[in-house]
Structure 1
Amino acid sequence: MFRTHPRLNTALALALLLAGSVHARDAQHTDHPHYLDDTQLHAAVALLPPPSPPGSAEDVADQSVTFQVYTTRSAEQAALAKKEESFDAFAFAAVLGPDFNPQRLPRTAALFAAVKKDVAAAKNEAKQTWRRERPCPVNSCQWDPEGDASDWKNRDYSYPSGHATRATVFAILLGKLFPQRADALDRYARDVDWRRVVRGVHTPQDIYAGRVLGQALARDFLASASLQRDLKLAATEIAAAGIAGSDAGKVH
């Protein structure tokens, strides 16, 4: 029987272990890429000022807007706000048309899935930093007032709005892919933001903080060489799909 030296066995085992670790890390990076590092996420969160102190005149005024909007909303407004509880980049098909969907655009879907994870990390850090409680207009903080208990169970803190953060980032990045529709994308993102107030789960202050955080994150995303590479690939994919308004040659 062939025998190797104990030290050689140890060296071979170590080499295999390292190779496996590198392979696993590379596979993880491929499956779950991150465009921003922790330092960038912390810096973006640090740009936000603290929310209004609870019970202050500013806080009372902020909360009163949500109360007014929630209690005077129409059934149609309530239904649309509820529909947007689950929200990703492909909700912007409302602006870009039904061909803008993940089935036709898998590269684009992968890009925005990765962006969404980085945005969520920053948003979660910000919410945990200030732990501002959700507004509770009338019965919105009672058990499942909207008839969607799964959302209720997942409720977290209020400041900043995750939807507003995400919508702002998506609108800015999509504006690079669809420059002719950048203004319409921004308007749609702002409408999504406001419907979080309509839904009774955020105040205007939460929304504005989400926009500030989203703008900071979008700036860092666009400075990322890996995101720029993937953005160009997405632009090529979108152009090949024949979706009007895209500009594959001028993404920068």
Structure 2
Amino acid sequence: MNRRGALIIAAAALLTGCAGTPAALRPQAAKAVETKGYLSGSLIQALADAVPPPPVAGSPVDLTDKARSARFKALEDGDRWLLATAHAELRPPLALQHFDCALGVRLGSAATPNLNRLMQRLFDDSDAAAELVKARGFRARPVGDDPERRPCQRVTEAGRKTASYPSGSSTVATVYGEAFAALEPERATEARRIAHEMGLSRLVCGMHYPSDVAAGEVLGKAVFDAAAATPGFDADLTAARAELTAVRATGLTSPGCASERLALATPLP
């Protein structure tokens, strides 16, 4: 099998749950903060309020963002593009498998209810914070600014018109990366790298501009730090760590790691 065939198979394996509309593409109407995660509504609001507004249209930052975003079109249909289609899946437990190669395991090879619950709560906190920022100040997505721009995922016309800043995908990915870094400190560098690559995938997909991703990463780190300071978080982390140890004991690893390494070796514009 050639390299491209292997990449398609690897991407398909990761895309099992990607048919639905990602949370980041929901309509951007303001909504009450739900507290399904670790953080109170008031703390989520405070974290959102600390995020600066999006770049002003026509400003140097905005123009630099748009110039770089246009260069990412050169990656369409290539190896990195295929990986970005897989990274579009953000919800646990499927999204956690993006970290298989970084952790040297195969998540999904054993039951991990505590790990899934931990990550779901972190997802809820980070998604809520990002949505509040989006509702505060609208910035169009690259695929919204350019109706001819090809996304690497299925996006409706309404989805093209949703807000780009900050990248909720990058916020969520960063929270996952920080959580895995806390679960396995010896693999923290690798976990954080994949979280960052998930953010970069949103540039490849034409779904966000660089400063959207950068803001999402800062917000994600703040959300994780706040969640980690709440009562009960350490106990949840300990329970999840035990499950991750059990997964590692199976000895199974992802068959897509070689393809992932090839895709991540693609130079980005």
Q: Which TM-score band applies after superposition, normalised by the shorter structure? A: 0.7 to 0.9
Q: Report SS of the residue matched to 1:224.
A: coil
Q: Report SS of the residue matched to 1:225.
A: coil
Distance change in 2, residues 1:189/1:151 (3 Å): farther
User: 1:45 matched to which residue of 2?
Assistant: 48
- Structure 1 position 117, deviation (Å): 1.3
2:118 to 108, 111, 132: 111
1:181 and 2:187 are equivalent in the alignment = yes
Q: TM-score, normalised by structure 2?
A: 0.71
- Identical counterparts, % of pairs: 27
Rounded to whole Å, the distance in 2 between the matches of 1:98 and 1:241 is: 7
Aligned pairs (5 A) from 1:9-20: none
1:235 and 2:237 are equivalent in the alignment = no
Which residues of structure 1 form unaligned runs of 5+?
Answer: 1-31, 245-252
Q: Bigger radius of gyration, 1 or 2?
A: 1
Distance change in 2, residues 1:242/1:52 (3 Å): closer
Letter in 2 for 1:203: Y
Rounded to whole Å, the distance in 2 between the matches of 1:206 and 1:50 is: 10
Q: TM-score, normalised by structure 1?
A: 0.75
1:159 and 2:162 are equivalent in the alignment = no
1:83 and 2:90 are equivalent in the alignment = no
Cα deviation, 1:159-215, whole Å, max 9, x if unaligned, reads 011111011111111111111100011111111111111111111100100011001
User: 2:68 matched to which residue of 1?
Assistant: 65
Q: Indicate if the aligned counterparts of 2:166 and 2:212 stay in contact, CA closer than 8 A.
A: yes
Higher relative contact order (CA 8 A, sep 6+): 2
Equivalenced residue count is: 211
Rounded to whole Å, the distance in 1 between the matches of 2:98 and 2:79 is: 18
Distance change in 2, residues 1:243/1:210 (3 Å): farther
1:172 and 2:178 are equivalent in the alignment = yes
Distance change in 2, residues 1:98/1:150 (3 Å): farther
Which residues of structure 2 form unaligned runs of 5+?
Answer: 1-34, 251-269
Q: CA RMSD in A?
A: 2.5
